[in-house]
Structure 1
Amino acid sequence: MRKLQLNPFVSKTVFVFGTANTVTVGIEHRKVMEEVKDILLSFHKCMSIYESTSEISSLNHMAGSSSLSISPEIYDLIRRSVAYSKLTNGAFDITALPLKKIWQTAEQIPTEAQIHHAKKLVNYRNIVFSDNKIMLKYSGMGVDLGGIAKGFAVDKITELLKSRGIASGVINFGGSVFVLGEERSVGIQTPFGKKGRYIGTIRVKNKAVVTSGAYENYRVINGTAYQHILNPHTGYPVNNELLAVTLIGAKAEELDALATGVCVMGIQKGYDLLKKRQIDAIFIKKDGSVLLTEGIKESFSFKEATYEA
Structure 2
Amino acid sequence: MNIFFVKISFWFLLIAVLFSACESKPQKKIQLSGTAQGTYYAISYYDSQDRDFQKAIDSILSAFDQSVSVYQTNSVVSRINRNDSTVVLDEWFLGNFNLAQQIAQETNGSFDITIAPIANIWGFGTFEKPDSINPQLIDSLKQYVDYRKVKLLNQQLQKENPAIQLNFNAIAQGYAVDVLADYLTSQQISNYLIDIGGEIVAKGQKPNGDKWKIGLEIPEDDAQNRTYNSIIVLEDKAVATSGNYRKFYVIDGVKYAHSLNPKTAYPVQHSLLSATVIAPNAAQADAYATAFMVMGVEKALAFVNAKPNLQAYFVFEKDGALQISMSEGFEAYLQ
- The TM-score normalised by the length of structure 2 is 0.82
User: Alpha-carbon deviation of 1:257?
Assistant: 0.8
Of the three residues 80, 84, 88, the one matched with 2:103 is 84
Name the residue aligned to 2:33: 13
Q: Kindly state the Cα deviation for residue 156 of structure 1 after the two structures are TM-superposed.
A: 1.4
**Aligned partner letter, 1:290:** I
Q: What amino acid maps onto 2:213 in structure 1?
A: S
* Structure 1 equivalent of residue 301 of structure 2: 271
Match of 1:232 among 262, 265, 286: 262
Letter in 2 for 1:36: I
Instruction: Extract unaligned runs of 5+ from structure 2.
Output: 1-26, 124-128, 206-210
Instruction: Answer with 1 or 2: which has the greater Rg.
Output: 2
Paired residue secondary structure (1:80):
helix
Find the aligned partners of 1:176 and 1:208 in 2 and give their Cα distance: 8
- State how 1:30-41 maps to structure 2 within 5 Å: 30-41=51-62
Is 1:51–2:75 an aligned residue pair? no
1:306 paired residue number: none
Name the counterpart of 1:145.
168
Is the 8 Å Cα contact of residues 272 and 296 (structure 2) preserved in structure 1?
yes
Q: Of residues 87, 91, 94 in structure 2, which corresponds to 1:72?
A: 91
Q: Which AA in structure 2 matches 1:201?
A: I
Question: Partner amino acid for 2:216?
Answer: I
8 Å contact 1:128–1:134 — kept in the other structure? yes
In structure 2, the residue matched to 1:4 is none
Correspondence 1:295 to 2:329 = yes
**Per chain length, whose mean CA-contact separation is higher, i.e. which structure has more relative contact order (CA < 8 Å, sep 6+)?**
1
Q: Distance in 2 between matches of 1:169 and 1:195?
A: 27
Spell out structure 1 runs of 4+ moving beyond 3 A: 27-30, 193-196
Point out the more displaced range, 135-144 or 110-119. 135-144
Indicate the SS of the match to 1:231: coil
- Offset at residue 159 of structure 1 (A): 1.5
Asked if the contact 2:181–2:194 (Cα under 8 Å) also holds between the matched residues in 1, the reply is yes
TM (norm. structure 1) is 0.89
- 2:122 is matched with 103
Cα distance in structure 1, aligned partners of 2:217 and 2:331: 18
Identity %: 27
Structure-2 separation of matches of 1:253 and 1:175: 12
Unpaired stretches in structure 1, ≥5 consecutive residues: 1-6, 302-309
Matching of residue 280 in structure 1 with residue 317 in structure 2: no
| Aligned-pair CA distance for 1:100 | 0.6
Greater shift in the superposed pair: 110-119 or 66-75: 66-75
Residue among 116, 122, 134 paired with 2:157? 134
Three-state SS of the structure 1 residue aligned to 2:269 is coil
Which residue identity lines up with residue 106 of structure 2 in the other structure?
A: L
Question: Considering only aligned residues, what root-mean-square deviation do their CA atoms show, in Å?
Answer: 1.9
Match of 1:191? 219
User: Is the Cα–Cα contact under 8 Å of residues 305 and 328 in structure 2 kept in the other structure?
Assistant: no
